[in-house]
Amino acid sequence: MPRAIQRTTDRLRDGVVVAAYGRRYRVEFPDGGLIECSTRGKKSDVACGDGVSVKLSEADSGVIESILPRTTLLYRSDAHRQKLIAANVTQAVIVVAARPGFYDELINRCLAACAHDNITVLIVLNKIDLPESAAARDALRVYEKLGYRVLGLAAKQDVSPLKPLLASHTSVLVGQSGMGKSTIINSLIPETNLRVAEISEALDSGRHTTTRTALYHLDAASRIIDSPGMQLFGLNHLSIEDTAHAFMEFRPYLGQCRFSNCRHLAEPDCAIAAACTQGNIAESRLASYRKIAEERLRAHARRFA
């Protein structure tokens, strides 16, 4: 994350966005001061974790004039809009649990977005004290085989195994509602006192308890960002070529298909499809890629219809 410094320009200061809710933001300055800020105009491209230049309007409020250069930006998008998740993060922590059930599709899309922006990924299987956790761990082995680290955790009992993996990182917690992201934050930083909702067993999904994105300091070198739960992760900002490259196990086979413009859908002599048949690419991963690629083709067709 860009280190905030005070500018010499009168009443213009650099800070870091530590909370984003709607079109309102909380900005922290190097001296620890916090002010509420807004942006100019109706549209805002500010994300939690952004370094920003703020023009002070009152002692406790200001207007964000500009965004400082970013190192990373994690976001999701569809054909109509984009949803910023966090900026300047070095690690995404994808939180899943055996109950409520998690979606492989959401994991694959988040992994693709992180790979595209060179963000390290840690997958946390929370609630390992539940009897369903063994099956959930088996389902995550496809990611372990790809080299992603998977950590089992029972955040309500002991969050200490996670702490060393957050050290010296700016991490963002992402995942579906009800996976326990707020419980993890509460366990790491008890003073945050976040609400944790009960899981709706009937719907097999968690109720949204986090309605804003917020950054917390774990220590002088480590930060963690909590984000609202999500059910969808659109990748409209990735081309088909970007998406194929973001699936890391595809990379050794890219450029080996019969056709140079192969989209790895149903083309003959596709090297990616052959690798899947040979067991070198998981069928679930190829199916996920194809779903994303088909979405991009449909969006392109609508655009030029």
Threshold 0.85, pTM exceeds: yes
- Give the Cα separation of 228 and 214 in Å (integer): 9
- Report the C-alpha gap between 55 and 57 in whole angstroms: 6
To the question of domain 240-303 being in CATH 3.40.50.300, the answer is: no
The structural domains of the chain, with segments of one domain joined by +, span 12-67, 73-226, 240-303
Q: Is 73-226 a domain of CATH 3.40.50.300?
A: yes
Instruction: Write down how long the chain is.
Output: 305
**Best CATH choice for the domain 12-67 from the list 1.20.1090.10, 2.40.50.840, 2.40.50.140, 3.20.20.70:** 2.40.50.140
Please give the chain's pLDDT, 305 residues, in tens. Answer: 333 334 334 578 999 999 998 788 999 999 999 999 999 877 789 999 999 999 998 778 899 999 999 999 999 998 788 999 999 999 999 999 988 889 999 999 999 999 999 999 999 999 999 999 999 999 999 999 999 999 999 999 999 999 999 999 999 999 998 899 989 999 999 877 654 443 334 334 444 445 689 999 999 999 999 999 888 899 999 999 999 999 999 999 999 999 999 999 999 999 999 999 999 999 999 999 999 999 989 887 777 66
